[in-house]
């Protein structure tokens, strides 16, 4: 991911989303790392449940989907969909009571 602001001039901060250290603090996902040179900058990103929901809502907007499904990015979009599917499966297997309540609108017996 690249971040830019006017204060950086022509430079961008590059964040490698696969290399951050991740931890949970007070129910919030905390990701921390350092951008690569020439701007070695320590950063942290804090994401709570609402942030995840908003990110998914953003990713499901028609312009974002069209962008990801354009020919040069199709393979990337399919791979991202595969990873998302694995994530959803892991959540369903790890917390069956949560998704059953969401589907049924109530707490099933034994959960």
Place of tokens 């129910």: 27
Confidence check: pLDDT of 62 > 50: yes
pLDDT confidence of residue 99: 65
Q: What is the mean pLDDT of the chain?
A: 78
pLDDT confidence of residue 22: 84
Q: How far apart are CA 43 and CA 34, in angstroms?
A: 6
Q: What pLDDT digit, counting tens, does each position of 9-55 carry? A: 877 888 877 777 888 888 888 888 888 887 788 888 888 888 888 88
pLDDT confidence of residue 111: 45
pLDDT confidence of residue 108: 47
Q: How many helices (H) and strands (E) does the chain have?
A: 4, 5
């Amino acid at each position: 991911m690249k971040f830019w602001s006017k204060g950086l001039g022509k430079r961008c901060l590059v964040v490698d989303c696969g290399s951050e250290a991740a931890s949970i603090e007070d129910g919030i996902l905390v990701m921390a790392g350092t951008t690569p040179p020439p701007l070695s900058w320590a950063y942290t990103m804090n994401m709570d449940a609402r942030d995840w929901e908003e990110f998914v809502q953003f990713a499901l907007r028609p312009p974002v989907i069209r962008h990801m499904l354009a020919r040069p990015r199709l393979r990337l979009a399919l791979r991202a969909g595969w990873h998302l599917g694995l994530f959803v499966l892991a959540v369903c297997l790890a917390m069956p009571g949560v998704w059953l309540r969401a589907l049924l609108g109530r707490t099933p017996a034994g959960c």
